[in-house]
A and B are shown apart, each in its own frame.
Chain A
Amino acid sequence: MPPHVLDRIALQGTERQRRCAQQTLQADQWFRLRASPPPVRDAARAVAGRADRRIHSADHEQTLPGRLVREEGQAAHGDAAVDEAYEWLGATYRFYWEVFGRDSIDDRGMPLIGSVHYGRDYDNAFWNGAQMVFGDGDGDLFRRFTAAPEVVAHELTHGVIERDVGLIYANQAGAINESLADVFGVLVKQYHTGQSPQAADWLIGAALLTDQVQGRALRSMQAPGTAYDDPVLGRDPQPGHMRDFVDTQADNGGVHINSGIPNRAFYLAAVALESPAWESVGPVWYAAMRDAGLSREADFAAFAALTLDHAERLHGLESREHRAVDEAWREVGVIS
């Protein structure tokens, strides 16, 4: 459908149509969380610093969470999707605990609930406000979505963002939300493998694509827009600079498209420094995400300003870190 059609709906539609077209998301996460509270820490098992994983199988249905198949401390199940979800949720928990002292999604030991084998040939993974959900992929284009640590960590991070900021999931705020999930997703992978920013591939979901896809990954933080160019999937639409910002109604105002801009800013800041990204700019982004001054409708410029603020507080005004962050946001055109 031509974008101007949707634009007209946004301008002239009835109230409900406008809601639909403009992605304002009145019914936000906080409301949904109150409506269905996720499980709280099991007091008998509660140990800060230890994950409480609960992996379920949806058995190819779309009912959640499905059948419990592996709990914390249990031996490997033998089903690759179950064991990958268990391992990568554990790696993500460890990252947040060891790097930021954060005890799970809510920082109060919330169980990490994941469901695998969701639906049939399901090409997606998502966070539903209470748990993470992973499809098996269709086998032709996509493998199972548990195959890559940064994908599992991305979904868990959506839970973290929901608790800490509640960034709305639309437009620039939604693209920051998506970018933060990618940023902490790759940091989990880099921390787990001990990779330097120079050695990391900065790709999202490389392990998900089959050999039949003409592409390297779903997204590239280093070079947004170059991850794939495939007859079936189309061409990676991500911009890496504000001059290429994509104004669209689709995908909640392009949250998975324009996230390329803040993704590249993080990459540029990280590779300008020698130390591991989880020690240099990772804590800067984490502090900016948790800053009470970050509005739920924040735009890129507001988020960039907070990262500069925290780079100064954590590393000093004249620090290399502060300069790297400043130059990164300039290079992607968010600040001038």
Chain B
Amino acid sequence: MSDTDELPVLSGDTRLAVTREGGFAYLPGLAAPREIDCDQLTTLQWAHLDAGLRSLAALPEAERSSPDGRFFRLTLSSRRTGQPHWQRCLDEPHAPAWLVRLWRDGHTALDEEASSP
């Protein structure tokens, strides 16, 4: 585990997990954990993911104190060791549209630029 909150460099061994948690209607099936393996991405998708994750640095860390408010949790880990490198939580109102698309639709959402609405 890195000692900084800096986003680690994505490698072929990197796996991104995205979950949506919380909510009045918190049902296990709706958390829908989404896993993205970097080595399955096209060069363009990889670049979009990298830019998208870097853009998260400017967003506020989730407070998660809004009762029944939902939030997204992103975790980067090594597929080889299972070791997580980095984690970030974002309250749903602050989650960018590309992240919601990625969680909902999987890696094909990365065909579009992360900054596109």
Contacts of A234 in B (CB 8 A): 27-29
* Alpha-carbon distance between A23 and B4 when the two chains are bound, in angstroms: 19
Mask of B1-32 contacts with A, CB within 8 angstroms, 1/0 = 11111000000000001010111111111110
User: For the complex, is A117 an interface residue (Cβ under 8 Å from B)?
Assistant: no
Quick check: A252 and B27 within 8 Å, CB to CB?
Answer: no
Contact segment of A105-113, A124-132, A191-199, A308-316: A124-132
Known: A20-B87, A25-B65, A169-B67. A125 touches B5 (CB 8 A): no
Quick check: B4 and A27 within 8 Å, CB to CB?
Answer: no
User: For the complex, is A16 an interface residue (Cβ under 8 Å from B)?
Assistant: yes
* Alpha-carbon distance between A233 and B65 when the two chains are bound, in angstroms: 25
Mask of B54-89 contacts with A, CB within 8 angstroms, 1/0 = 000000011111111110010101000011101111
| Closest residue of B by beta carbon distance from A158 | B67
Known: A5-B75, A250-B19, A251-B21. A127 touches B84 (CB 8 A): no
Contact segment of A6-14, A95-103, A267-275, A280-288: A6-14
* Alpha-carbon distance between A162 and B63 when the two chains are bound, in angstroms: 15
Q: Which of B5, B35, B77 contacts A16 (CB 8 A)?
A: B5
User: For the complex, is A155 an interface residue (Cβ under 8 Å from B)?
Assistant: yes
* Alpha-carbon distance between A306 and B65 when the two chains are bound, in angstroms: 24
User: For the complex, is A29 an interface residue (Cβ under 8 Å from B)?
Assistant: yes
User: For the complex, is A17 an interface residue (Cβ under 8 Å from B)?
Assistant: yes
User: For the complex, is B93 an interface residue (Cβ under 8 Å from A)?
Assistant: yes
Quick check: B22 and A251 within 8 Å, CB to CB?
Answer: yes
Contacts of B23 in A (CB 8 A): 123-124, 126, 256
| Closest residue of A by beta carbon distance from B77 | A5
* Alpha-carbon distance between A165 and B80 when the two chains are bound, in angstroms: 45
Quick check: B19 and A233 within 8 Å, CB to CB?
Answer: no
| Closest residue of B by beta carbon distance from A26 | B63
Quick check: B24 and A155 within 8 Å, CB to CB?
Answer: yes
Q: Which of A8, A16, A230 contacts B61 (CB 8 A)?
A: A16
Quick check: A237 and B28 within 8 Å, CB to CB?
Answer: yes
* Alpha-carbon distance between A129 and B65 when the two chains are bound, in angstroms: 9
* Alpha-carbon distance between A324 and B85 when the two chains are bound, in angstroms: 50
Total interface residues in chain B, CB < 8 Å:
41
Quick check: A124 and B70 within 8 Å, CB to CB?
Answer: yes
User: For the complex, is B96 an interface residue (Cβ under 8 Å from A)?
Assistant: no
User: For the complex, is B52 an interface residue (Cβ under 8 Å from A)?
Assistant: no
Q: Which of A13, A20, A218, A230 contacts B73 (CB 8 A)?
A: A20
Known: A1-B19, A162-B67. A256 touches B26 (CB 8 A): yes
Mask of A160-196 contacts with B, CB within 8 angstroms, 1/0 = 0110000011100000011001000000000000000
* Alpha-carbon distance between A158 and B23 when the two chains are bound, in angstroms: 13
Number of A-B contacts (CB under 8 A): 134
Quick check: B29 and A129 within 8 Å, CB to CB?
Answer: no
User: For the complex, is A329 an interface residue (Cβ under 8 Å from B)?
Assistant: no
Quick check: A233 and B24 within 8 Å, CB to CB?
Answer: no
| Closest residue of B by beta carbon distance from A17 | B87
| Closest residue of A by beta carbon distance from B62 | A20
Contacts of B5 in A (CB 8 A): 14, 16-17
Q: Which of A14, A27, A208, A218 contacts B65 (CB 8 A)?
A: A27
A71 to chain B minimum Cβ distance, whole angstroms, is 25
Contacts of A252 in B (CB 8 A): 21-22, 64
* Alpha-carbon distance between A145 and B19 when the two chains are bound, in angstroms: 22
A130 to chain B minimum Cβ distance, whole angstroms, is 10
- Besides A20-B61, A168-B65, A205-B25, 5 more A-B contacts (Cβ < 8 Å) are A8-B1, A8-B84, A181-B67, A234-B29, A237-B28
Q: Which residues of B contact A (CB under 8 A)?
A: 1-5, 17, 19, 21-31, 33, 35, 61-70, 73, 75, 77, 82-84, 86-89, 93
Q: Which residues of A contact B (CB under 8 A)?
A: 1-2, 5-6, 8-9, 12-14, 16-17, 19-21, 23, 25, 27-29, 32, 62, 123-129, 142, 145, 151, 154-155, 158, 161-162, 168-170, 177-178, 181, 205, 208, 218, 228, 230, 232-235, 237, 250-252, 255-257
Closest 10 CB pairs of A and B: A234-B29, A234-B28, A256-B26, A126-B68, A158-B67, A233-B29, A233-B27, A124-B23, A1-B17, A27-B63
